[in-house]
Copies of this chain bind each other. A is one copy, B any other.
Amino acid sequence: MSGPVSPAELEARLREIGAQRYHNLHPFHRMLHSGECSKGQVQAWALNRYYYQSMIPVKDAALIARCEDPGLRRIWRKRLEDHDGSRPGEGGIARWLALTDGIGLDREMVVSGRALLPATRFAVQAYIHFVRERSLLEAIASSLTEMFSPQIISERLSGMLAHYDYVTPETMAYFAARPPQAERDANFALDYVKREARTAEQQQAALAALSFKCDVLWTMLDALYFAYVSPGFVPPGAFRPADG
């Protein structure tokens, strides 16, 4: 490997990882937004994805706990505010529960996490451990999947509203609110990575961190596909759809 590339070239390589590995390319995502999922499959997706969402503030607090710069902590704190809100019933997690409620999942079952696919839990915990244990640069770079999320969110929002009669604008409130937050967060994190990844080794680490994070999201959809689409092996103790 030779020397470092320019910040613009680093950005291009980060975007190329997204173009090749982001979970909008996964067959389960295509089924979900094109209306091919049964209600049970939509429920299984929401149940497992809720766990990921509910752990995002834990991941973000772990990142803040590694920042000795108050300015960086303040900016990253906004993510806690977006997800947890300022009072019960507010914020991204509450909006996610509106979705799981709206598609007929029992809230206690959702919040308890007891019917999750184990692979979901392992993938999400791997993400939290990555953020706790790798360099701050890698932790921040691992958030860069947000660069690609506005597109997947808009596909999900329009596709699910169009194809599933039990999905309403109210249940999809999370996805309506999310894109401007994701764009702001992604711009900040991308600027940080382009500025701070100065050596070839740091740039490689940042690229690998984004790739790792794509693996986390992809693995979650793989697990859903195997358990609820094909071959349809639901692991012991995991959610079993009423229509499955």
Contacts and interface: CB of A to CB of B under 8 A. Distances in A.
A210 interface: no
Given A54-B68, A68-B54, A74 B86 contact: yes
B77 A81 contact: yes
Contacts of A88: 70-71
Contact of A57 (B73, B87, B94): B73
A80 interface: yes
A58 interface: yes
Nearest to A66: B58
A177 interface: no
Interface string A74-98: 1001001101111110010110000
Interface string A53-73: 011011101101111101101
Contacts of A74: 84-87
Interface string A29-68: 0000000000000000000000000110111011011111
Contacts of A59: 65
A65 B73 contact: no
Majority secondary structure, A binding face: helix
Given A84-B74, A85-B74, A61 B57 contact: no
A93 B74 CA distance: 12
A64 B73 contact: no
A132 B62 CA distance: 10
A202 to B, nearest CB: 22
Contacts of A67: 58, 61
Nearest to A59: B65
Interface in A141-171: none
A70 B91 contact: yes
Contact of A64 (B70, B80, B93): B80
A38 to B, nearest CB: 30
Contacts of A84: 70, 73-74, 77
Interface of A: 54-55, 57-59, 61-62, 64-68, 70-71, 73-74, 77, 80-81, 83-88, 91, 93-94, 132
12 contacts: A54-B68, A54-B70, A58-B66, A59-B65, A61-B61, A61-B64, A61-B67, A62-B62, A62-B65, A64-B65, A74-B87, A77-B84
